[in-house]
Amino acid sequence: MATQYPDNVEKLEPQASGIASPFVIRKIGLPDLNEALRLGWEDFKAVPSHAIILCVIYPVLGLVLFRMVLGYSVLPLLFPLAAGFTLIGPFAALGLYELSRRRQRGEEAAAWDAVHVLRAPSFGAMLELGILLLVLFVTWIAAADAIYIATFGHAPAASIPDFATRVLMTPQGWSLIIVGCGVGFLFAVVALCVSVVSFPLMLDRHATAIDAIRTSLQAVRKNPIAMAAWGLIVAVLLVIGSLPFFVGLAIVLPVLGHATWHLYRKVVEPDPNPPQQQPRPPKGHRYAADFPASLFPWSRERK
């Protein structure tokens, strides 16, 4: 069933100066964030298998990082790596936006439908912005490493307890926490401002990367309290999902990905003249004789 959105929110026209955007931005409030999360949870319950397909990299990565930490050489970067993946999360959730888009339009949505995002006309623009976020992620890791070296030097920690004592029980450690969290907060703000609605907009309206970034910046400027609250919600849920060993992210990330789509639908006014699309043929029944071809359903569409 298609999701209905209220029309009684205040609509803001693009500004003639400053951050110009060809899309109309709505004014939203905190209840809209709660509604976006609720709809994201509903999407996750309807199509739960994509958590394994699209987000298994996160818990696996957590286990790999934990194994690397046994050597202690990358121990100081464990937290920056875990926190920094939130910078590229909006790009990693592309398939989730596609699933939510289909469900919101009342179409059938299955886990494998997420791969159709690769055929989107604006996928090139999505890739461009994804590379920008990747550069931001790499810069953050370099900054975090530089902060640690400036505080403790190049000597590695002798053990995990030794590292914990350095960070939590010394003035240098508290300085590292304060400066590191402050710098990380700035990176997170930049990522939020340029991507909060950018990827769903490119998927839905085939916007260019520049127009998508402009629209995202304007959405933050028009809704500073709501967007700040959204950033806080994302941070808290990611911290919760990271325990233990990032396994919880297999649930948190899909829910946040779906919720981001619904947040976009509340913030950006829909296209008044959407392009007409041909109805997709029914998938029909699948039989055991189709295996293993049934694992690759997109191959049938070419026949």
> 115-126, pLDDT tens digit by residue?
889 899 999 999
Q: Does 215 map to a domain?
A: yes
Q: Does 131 map to a domain?
A: yes
Mean pLDDT for 199-226 is: 95
Q: Does 144 map to a domain?
A: yes
Q: Does 298 map to a domain?
A: no
More confident residue, 286 or 89: 89
> pTM value?
0.78
Which of the residue ranges 53-57, 79-83, 194-198 has the most confident prediction, judged by mean pLDDT? Answer: 194-198
The pLDDT value given to residue 291: 44
Q: Does 275 map to a domain?
A: no
The residues with which 268 forms a beta bridge, in sequence order, are: 25
Closest CA to 214 of 200, 194, 243: 194
Q: In the predicted model, is pLDDT for residue 11 greater than 50?
A: no
What confidence tier does 59 reach under pLDDT thresholds 50, 70, 90? low
Distance CA 156, CA 67 (A): 16
Q: Does 4 map to a domain?
A: no
Q: Does 193 map to a domain?
A: yes
3-state helix, strand, coil in the chain (%, to 5): 70, 0, 30
Q: Does 59 map to a domain?
A: yes
Q: To 10 degrees, the CA torsion angle through 40, 66, 92, 105? A: -20
Question: Which residues form the domain of 223?
Answer: 47-108+122-270
Number of domains in the chain: 1
Closest CA to 167 of 67, 80, 97, 247: 80
